[in-house]
């Protein structure tokens, strides 16, 4: 069920219900030879020639070039992990500056119908934490842009914060977004993230009071995630004009980069938000919908490539 961000500290109550990961061992076998072969010529599959820099440095380099970051989001395991692996390569080859990968969860409070459905499909097909980590261990070295995980808090707690951070560091993840943890409860996350070189990105919303927003941006690492509207993720017909004012207020409080997400779903939105002064644009549900509703993985990857290129062109 879709749930809106009604409080200024996001979701004040932590959820410790059913663990989201399934235990099917078969899901760890994510290699799909036919899908991989089909897109070998389309996406760059070679290991990055130079070390991939983190989120902050990515934004620094883009700023020097007067460019805005394109940050696509997809859900791991939808329609399957082999397609996710290829999709990551496609997104990278199309010029994505940072990629956000959603870890499917059984109670995704911040997500709208499209991403909720994707998470449900992924879990029903056996996607689990170990299989995602295994897939990323193979794919991340082939990417030329940094990867950030988007995950809810319960899966992190289940494995222990320190162990979780150490694991994602070892596979080459650079950033982390945890949408359901209030600022007051991020101390342990921030400490372990810092210890492992993981940039913990915090979110601020249109209903966040200014003083609280200042506290959030002060400790956010990598960039500040500005939620464009009250509610859950999902494509919208238009971006709220208030985003421009919110961007201005945040930039008065910090010189950290600010990326706008939730409801950014087409090239016109991307161009508009960039024109308002955003340092990055995050596109999620539209990406997830392409992969989830395609008649085949090959078709989905082809459409994903076309769509990503159109978004990138809007930022040139």
DSSP state of 54: -
Among candidates 230, 237, 21, 1, which has minimal Cα distance to 113? 1
Q: Of all helices (H) and strands (E), which one includes residue 248?
A: helix 242-253
CA atoms of 198 and 190, how far apart (whole Å): 9
**Look-up of token digits 């990323």:** 136
- The catalytic residue among 86, 100, 192, 279 is 100
Residue 272: burial class (beta carbons within 10 Å; 0-12, 13-18, 19+): buried
Q: What count of residues does the chain have?
A: 316
Catalytic annotation on 111?
yes
Radius of gyration of the chain (CA): 18
Active site (annotated) includes residue 97: no
CA distance 173 to 141: 10
The residue from 92, 97, 111, 199 that is catalytic is 111
* Under 8 Å between Cβ of 26 and 82: no
Catalytic residues: 100, 111
């Amino acid at each position: 069920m879709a749930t809106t961000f009604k409080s200024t500290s996001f979701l004040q109550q932590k959820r410790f219900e059913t663990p989201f990961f399934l235990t099917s061992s078969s899901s760890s076998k994510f290699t799909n030879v036919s899908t991989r072969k089909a897109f070998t010529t389309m996406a760059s599959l070679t290991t990055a020639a130079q070390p991939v820099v983190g989120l902050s440095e990515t934004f620094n380099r883009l700023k020097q070039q007067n460019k805005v970051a394109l940050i696509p989001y997809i859900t791991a395991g939808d329609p399957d992990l082999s397609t996710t692996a290829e999709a990551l390569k496609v997104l990278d080859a199309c010029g994505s500056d940072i990629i956000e990968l959603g870890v499917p969860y059984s109670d995704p409070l911040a997500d709208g119908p499209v991403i909720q459905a994707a998470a449900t499909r992924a879990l029903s097909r056996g996607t689990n934490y170990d299989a995602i980590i295994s897939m990323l261990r193979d794919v991340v070295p082939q990417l030329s842009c940094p990867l950030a995980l988007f995950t809810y808090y319960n899966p992190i707690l289940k494995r222990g914060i320190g162990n979780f951070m150490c694991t994602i560091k070892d596979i080459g993840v650079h950033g982390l977004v945890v949408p359901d943890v209030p600022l007051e409860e991020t101390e342990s996350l921030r400490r372990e993230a810092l210890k492992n070189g993981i940039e913990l990105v915090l979110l601020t919303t249109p209903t966040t009071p200014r003083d609280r927003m200042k506290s959030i941006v002060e400790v956010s690492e990598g960039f500040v995630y500005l939620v464009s509207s009250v509610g859950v993720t999902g494509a919208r017909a238009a971006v709220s004009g208030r985003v421009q004012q919110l961007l201005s207020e945040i930039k008065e409080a910090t010189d950290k980069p600010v990326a706008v997400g939730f409801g950014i779903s087409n090239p016109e939105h991307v161009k508009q938000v960039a024109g308002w002064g955003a340092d990055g644009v995050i596109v999620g549900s539209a990406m997830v919908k392409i992969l989830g509703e395609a008649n085949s993985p090959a078709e989905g990857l082809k459409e994903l490539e076309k769509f990503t290129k159109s978004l990138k062109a809007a930022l040139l």
